[in-house]
Chains A and B, each alone.
Chain A
């Protein structure tokens, strides 16, 4: 007991505030305000203004270009309590009183009046954040696995590299007018981080005692998706910058600037062929490497960074033989809500005694008040004093001492953030859909929330055989909801059923995003109002097959036509699902033909997409 107390005191004393990073620039906010004025006075054209606006992180809102969705870049997903508080304030003042975690570690504020965007930027700059190059044809937010630094399987922490690369390309002249957007993702190990669905994906590796990366190029999700190719077995640390630069330069030079639908780098790779592309990159890199001074290269060597502020000596001091609070054997729906939460929302770190705690959101939504409470919790309980947002649209609070877990739970509970299931199938991902996106056909956002609450109600989060499976929903074929890497994915569309239009989703099976990334296979169309029932039925069928493998592996077998029991292939499973997707005539059940969040007839309305700008 005494020993524990000692640890406790030590632990409190050592928590620190991280120095602010400065990504934002004051002068850009004024510039933005002036451009809006000029635009309103018709001194600049629609197109020019649009490009400018996107370059500064403001999308036009659904069918209302006079409102913006502001995308705040959170480099590596790492965010301080002060920044969270600021975002809460800004949302309250200028947006709708809530913020939204995206699938690429951005935080988005919706329905901000165009005239107030500069005010939001002003506030963001005060806490070091930027929206610069969050949209448009540029290097987007550089992602880094939220487990980097704490993952028990990683070789080293990729975060400092991720930040250095982000810094290098932000406002870099080459990033100002690429053929199309460009995404860079860092992972921590083979399991975490979306490295194979990015233009450049990097996983830490060590060869002969040297640090470096395994680099994947040309992946990406969209109307046509591709899995990234491995450039070479090992890319040493000192080649990191030249490899990234070479890739962007080749893309800039050879990328398709004509056909907007086919101008992501993955199309270039596909059209050119991987071998030719690979050669081109390696050649370009040699030139770049030979023309980069050592001091520049050194900027990307991790020894220059003081990122690892939590020294091993502090951690070693805190080591103790504690009994893990995590219930390893399975739990049930009748377990206490705290046990359930522990089981589905916390992960043990490689730092002994420390846990990463996940905060479950609904499709990434969080209110201003909740953001403020979250900021306090991070300050009080995370040794590193920051949090990360995750591509699953949740928050991860890391370095929580095991003796603090129940306190953290209680605090989260009082602010309505203690839902379980963050790391399970119940934490459905949903893009913004018709809540704000111009291209959306369906209300994927609301559907994701409906799926989550229904599955939690059914207790799917406590079922370990479902844990490794994911559900992801996009409101159109564009994949912002990353439906193609989900075990069960959905993307929205519209179909005439009988003589009535209805919102329908195309369902895909078998996607995954780890080292063996795979894109989901389209299975069948499901009316919006039948999605939940279909998910339930799939799980029911899986249970009937009495399989010892988890759901995602079973579905993978079925996709490959070698199901282990009675359901052998997709046709078999479709036969079971078909009765559910049939709708009664619209006169009998008009609501079956409506989308979530609407009580009127469904009409698919879209406007010019800005992702493509």
Chain B
């Protein structure tokens, strides 16, 4: 917490510095605004293309300009108690229980997401739920989706803008354009299991992994991926973790976790951030694998569970 506060002060300072350096800024804004006007004349909106992680300053600017759809994936009760300005409520459960691409498109349309508008997703579960939702959006064709760099709790601790009103937006149209390159199912996992260039990554905690996992999987527990005040560590840290494991940049990586692809969703984005191009999510994960009766690797020769202090 202490660290967080310090960061906030730093951030405030940088904002000040930025404003004092406003000549450049005006130029930039001018350029954007000319672009926008041309776009407006042509009847198309030009939107900013967001990176994997959206930082706080960018999101605040976008909110002010009203050129973003912010998606809150926490439970409805939590949303009602307060959320980031302009955010719409979309609890993860809704995504999980309506998981056909068509249903997801409908959900996007219902919360007013059109083809190119930037979408920023956040949660209060160290980014894992947000990641699962963001991946789903990207899978059905909403490329321009980004994860907020921090959780709602962090945002609140920084004293940033929060509101309580229930936001709704006019229904939009969204094209369905499946992106098969980021998706894996059991059949696919099975087909690549002995492939030299493919790495299967299990993102559950160490002890769960030791107990049982899909054969040949490597363990990158989700606990390695973030810090107290940011859902993912800096790119260089993540890169080093992957390099240490001898995973090559041009490998195909499939992530999975326990059941619905949340922890592995976060791992999906961590790997992306580390610069791996070909990452897929086995969204139904180990639960599905076991239900299908597929083989597992188990390790029963040590009582590691007895090391826990609880």
Do A and B actually bind?
A: yes
Bound: A439/B307 CA distance, A: 17
The interface size bin for chain A is 35 or more
The distance from the CB of A58 to the nearest CB of chain B, in whole angstroms, is 14
B177: CB under 8 A from chain A? no
Q: Let me know if A96 and B205 touch, CB within 8 A.
A: yes
| Residue A435 interfacial (CB < 8 Å) | yes
Is residue A40 within 8 Å, beta carbon to beta carbon, of the partner chain? yes
Known contacts: A110-B304, A116-B241. The answer to whether A40 contacts B246 by CB under 8 A is yes
Q: Nearest CB to that of B307 among chain A residues? A: A435
If A95-B206, A96-B206, A111-B210 touch, does A365 touch B307 (CB 8 Å cutoff)?
yes
Given contacts A33-B244, A37-B246, are A434 and B206 in contact (CB under 8 A)? no
Q: B309 touching A366 by the CB < 8 A rule? A: yes
How near does chain B come to A538, taking the closest CB pair, in angstroms? 25
Give the CA-CA distance A436 to B306 in the complex, in Å: 10
A63 nearest CB neighbor, chain B only: B301
Hey, which chain B residues are within 8 Å of A96, CB to CB? 205-207, 304, 307-308
Given the known inter-chain contacts A97-B308, A365-B308, please indicate yes or no for A446 contacting B303, CB distance below 8 A.
Answer: yes
Q: Does A100 contact B (CB under 8 A)?
A: yes
Supposing A97-B223, A119-B241, A366-B309 touch, asked if A435 and B303 sit within 8 A by C-beta, the answer is yes
Q: Please, how many angstroms separate the alpha-carbon atoms of A355 and B48 in the complex?
A: 62
With A111-B206, A115-B246: A598-B307 Cβ-Cβ less than 8 Å: no
**B303 closest partner in A (C-beta):** A597
Determine if A64 is an interface residue (Cβ-Cβ < 8 Å): yes
Complexed CA–CA distance, A370 and B310 (Å): 10
Decide yes or no whether A94 CB sits under 8 A from chain B. Answer: yes
Residues in chain B near residue A92, CB distance under 8 A = 223
Tell me whether B302 and A436 are in contact (CB under 8 A). Answer: yes
Query: Which of B246, B306, B309, B310 meets A446, CB within 8 Å?
Result: B306
Q: Separation in Å of the A386 CB from the closest CB of chain B?
A: 19
A175 within 8 A of B: no
B240 proximal to A (CB < 8 A): yes
Known interface pairs A97-B223, A115-B244; A436-B307 also in contact (CB < 8 Å)? yes
Chain A contacts of B146 at CB under 8 A? Answer: none
- A361 interface residue per 8 A CB criterion: yes
- In the docked arrangement, what's the CA distance between A225 and B307, Å? 28
| A433: interface (CB < 8 Å) | yes
Among B169-223, those with CB < 8 Å from A are: 205-207, 210, 219, 221, 223
A432 lies within 8 A of B307 (CB): yes
| Chain A contact surface mostly | mixed
In the complex, the answer to whether B303 meets A434 with C-beta atoms within 8 Å is yes
Residues of B within 8 A of A36 (CB): 244
Q: Is A118 an interface residue (CB 8 A)?
A: yes
* Cross-chain contact of B303 among A37, A362, A443 (Cβ < 8 A): A443
Q: For the complex, what is the distance from the CA of A461 to the CA of B121, rounded to whole Å?
A: 53
- Would you give the shortest CB distance from B127 to chain A, in whole angstroms? 15
Residue A61 interfacial (CB < 8 Å): yes
B304 touches A111 (CB 8 A): yes
The answer, yes or no, to whether A98 is at the interface (CB within 8 Å) is yes
Please determine whether A62 and B301 come into contact, CB atoms closer than 8 angstroms.
Answer: yes
Interface residues of B in 117-131 (CB under 8 A from A): none
Residues of chain B within 8 A of A100, CB atoms compared: 307
Report B-chain residues with C-beta under 8 Å of the C-beta of A229: none
Give residues of chain B (277-310) contacting chain A, Cβ–Cβ below 8 Å: 299-310
Give the residues in chain B near A367, CB-CB below 8 Å: 308-310
Shortest CB-to-CB span from B78 to chain A, Å, is 22
Q: Chain B's nearest CB lies how many Å from the CB of A152?
A: 32
Q: Quick check: is A351 within 8 A (CB to CB) of the other chain?
A: no
A497 nearest CB across to chain B (Å): 21
Given contacts A93-B224, A97-B223, contact A435 B309 (CB under 8 A): no
Cβ of A113 under 8 Å from chain B: yes
Name the distance in Å between A600's Cβ and chain B's nearest Cβ. 8
Selected contact of A362 from candidates B210, B219, B245, B309, CB within 8 Å? B309
Q: Which interface residue of A100, A111, A118, A449 has the most chain B CB atoms within 10 A?
A: A111
Minimum-distance CB pairs A-B, first 3: A365-B309, A597-B303, A446-B306
Q: What are 26 of the A-B contact pairs (CB < 8 Å)?
A: A62-B301, A64-B299, A64-B302, A94-B223, A96-B205, A96-B207, A96-B307, A96-B308, A98-B308, A111-B206, A111-B304, A115-B245, A118-B244, A366-B309, A367-B309, A370-B309, A435-B304, A435-B307, A436-B302, A445-B303, A445-B306, A449-B306, A595-B303, A596-B303, A597-B306, A598-B303
